[in-house]
Copies of this chain bind each other. A is one copy, B any other.
Amino acid sequence: MQKILVLGAGRSATSLIAYLHQNAAADNWQITIAEKDIELAREKTSRFEEARLISFDIENEDQVHQEISEADLVVSMLPARFHIVPARKCAELGKNMVTASYLTNDIKELSSEFEAKGAQCIMELGLDPGIDHMSAMKVLDRLRKEGNELTAFETFTGGLLREDKENDNPWKYKFTWNPRNVVLAGQGYVKFIQEGRYKYIPYNRLFQRTEVIHIPGHGYFEGYANRDSLNYLDLYNLRGINTLYRGTLRRPGYCKAWDVFIQLGATEDTYELENVNEMTHRQFINSFLQYNPGDSVELKLAHYLNIGMESAEMYKLKWLDLFSDELIGLEKGTPAQILEHILKKKWTLNEEDRDLIVMWHKFDYIEKGQPKQIQSSMVVEGEDQTNTAMSKTVGLPLAMAAKHVLSGRINKPGVHIPTHKEIYEPILEELNEIGFEFREIEVDLDDQSIKA
């Protein structure tokens, strides 16, 4: 019997825990769910009586040592800043560990210790980062093996809503993952490479510089650049490539309307507003506009941002009740915290809603002197408001990695992300079996038609 220790049973753990339990009997696993909030853990495992639930405190060193020493593999679903604690303990005790979070330098430094113990620590095993690495590297490895020269790589992912369930929501968007990250998206800097030139976009222009992406059978999307694409030069071994761009997908029209919040300053998170406890939605918006009591908040905003009073952007703002006299309902908060709170009133999944994950890669390459292009995309629909496409695409590759590490099919001691064939191949195979498949098309660069 092999023992799996799951640290944390928050929202993101639903699909992961379900998978582990479904496979527990056949694979002879004993599963422990370790969670600070024991009630939350009980709820998550109510259908799985064989699971062991424990009340767990990551700051209790004795408990961390005790539980990890008894486990064969640790799945850390803790907030990202805590991963270093089980990682150090796993390295020390020679235990395996998997997470869906970004690999950090302090964990990378443990690689030789993991390797010396013959243990594996694999990070970035979710959707993005996760499936993006696996699916991109699969094509990149193949194209390179065939002797082609890569000239451009673009990759976009979006957590969206299914078209047919969006009803009247003009944003065609609701929160399906951490709302705070959605509100703060794009803060910091953006770097990418276009035709051999390094390009930089500041936050105040990011949502104005979108790209249009078409996915056959699923329509048009718009994408904005995501952080530092240059990181992928080394991660994917792409030094010398002409174009490298990583982005986030939204439905058309989202970005121009979201830009209103950025231009107002409503996504700032560095200071708190005054008198939030008695503030209405309308006053929140007005606090970013010029004082002019004779003019309406609507007209001041439209004029300030140079958009029409009857524009699609104004309609989106009105749909969110941003101009209403409704109280915000917070005691205090930064602009970003208040905006998140207001958005949640309309952007929370209800029983009718099904979410949608879209991932799209574009590869330009030279094959025997001829320029070629492949596009590869995956679209996953959610089942309901709990078993979302987001929860599944984040949790299942992680769970599958745990399975293949325990079975020995994935056996690459050290600290890694799933850019290696030994790691991504078994996971992509299994994802494909449950319908999370990438559709590849070859595009004719002369007339842009789809060849295959």
The verdict on A111 contacting chain B, using a C-beta distance below 8 Å, is no
Inter-subunit contact A202/B291 (CB<8 Å): no
Contact status B275-A198, CB under 8 Å? yes
Q: A274's closest neighbor in chain B, by CB?
A: B198
Contact A204 B263 (CB under 8 A): yes
Establish whether residues B199 and A273, one from each chain, have CB atoms under 8 Å apart when the complex forms: no
Contact of A200 among B189, B287, B293 (CB under 8 A): B287
**Choice from B201, B205, B230, B291 contacting A274 with Cβ under 8 Å:** B230
A89 interfacial contact with B, CB 8 Å: no
- Separation of A230 and B275 alpha carbons in the complex (Å): 13
- A194 beta carbon closer than 8 Å to chain B: yes
**Is A197 a contact partner of B335 (Cβ separation < 8 A)?**
no
A9 interface residue (CB < 8 Å to B): no
Give the docked Cα–Cα distance between A275 and B230 (Å): 13
Q: How many copies does the complex hold?
A: 2
A residues 219-253 near B (Cβ < 8 Å) are: 228, 230
A380 to chain B, nearest CB (A): 32
Chain A's interface: helix, strand, loop or mixed, by majority? Answer: loop
- A202 contacts B271, CB within 8 Å? no
**B-chain residues with CB within 8 Å of residue A448 when the two chains form the complex:** none
A198 and B270 in contact, given A204-B262, A263-B204, A265-B205 (Cβ under 8 angstroms): no
What B residues does A199 contact at CB under 8 A?
287-291
Q: Mark A260-277, 1 if CB is under 8 A from B, else 0.
A: 001111001011011100
**Residues of B close to A264: CB separation below 8 A:** 202
In the bound complex, residues from chain B placing their C-beta under 8 Å from that of A268 are 189, 200, 202
Q: Which 8 A-B pairs have the closest CB atoms?
A: A202-B265, A204-B204, A194-B291, A198-B274, A189-B271, A195-B291, A200-B287, A200-B288
Report which A residues bind B (CB closer than 8 A). 188-189, 191, 194-195, 197-205, 209, 228, 230, 262-265, 268, 270-271, 273-275, 286-291, 293, 335
